[in-house]
Amino acid sequence: MDILDKIKAPVAAELEQFNDTFRKTLYTNNPLLERAVEHLLKAPGKQVRPLLVMLAARMVGKVNEKVINVALALEMLHTASLVHDDVVDESERRRGLPSLSAFLSNQVAVLSGDFILSKALECAALTDDVRVVRYFSQLGQSLADGELLQLDSQESEVLSEAVYFDVIGRKTASLFSVCARLGALAAGGTESEAERLAQFGKLIGLCFQLRDDIFDYGSAEVGKPLGNDMKEGKLTLPAIYAVKHSDDASIQELALKVRRREASAEEIQRLIDFTVSQGGLEYAQWHMKDMQGMADGLIDETRDASITEALHLLASFVAERVI
Q: Which of 166, 175, 173, 280 is nearest to 230 (CA)?
A: 280
Q: How many CA atoms lie within 13 A of 121 on its CB side?
A: 9
> By the 8 A CB rule, do 319 and 211 touch?
yes
pTM for this one? 0.93
Residue ranges per structural domain of the chain: 3-320
pLDDT at 119 (0 to 100): 97
Q: Fold for domain 3-320? A: Farnesyl Diphosphate Synthase (1.10.600)
Residues 6+ apart with CB under 8 A from 93: 99, 102, 223, 224, 225, 228
- What pLDDT, in 10s, does the model give residues 25-77? 999 999 999 999 999 999 888 899 999 999 999 999 999 999 999 999 999 99
Work out the mean pLDDT of the chain and round it to a whole number. Answer: 93
Q: How many CA atoms lie within 13 A of 206 on its CB side?
A: 23
Q: Is the pLDDT of residue 323 over 70?
A: no
Residues 6+ apart with CB under 8 A from 173: 201, 202, 203, 205, 206, 209
Residue burial 96-128, b: 16+ Cβ < 10 Å; e: rest: eeebbbbbbeeebbbbbbebbbebbbebbebbe
Q: Is the pLDDT of residue 220 over 50?
A: no
Q: Is the pLDDT of residue 219 over 70?
A: no
Residue burial 36-71, b: 16+ Cβ < 10 Å; e: rest: bbebbeeeeeebbbbbbbbbbbbbbbebeebbbbbb
Rounded Cα distance between 318 and 321, Å, is: 6
Residues 6+ apart with CB under 8 A from 61: 187, 188, 189
For residue 227, the tally of other CB atoms under 10 A from its CB is 17
- What pLDDT, in 10s, does the model give residues 208-218? 999 999 988 87
- What pLDDT, in 10s, does the model give residues 281-295? 999 999 999 999 999
Q: What are phi and psi of 233, to 5 degrees?
A: 85, 15
- What pLDDT, in 10s, does the model give residues 171-184? 999 999 999 999 99
Q: Is the pLDDT of residue 255 over 50?
A: yes
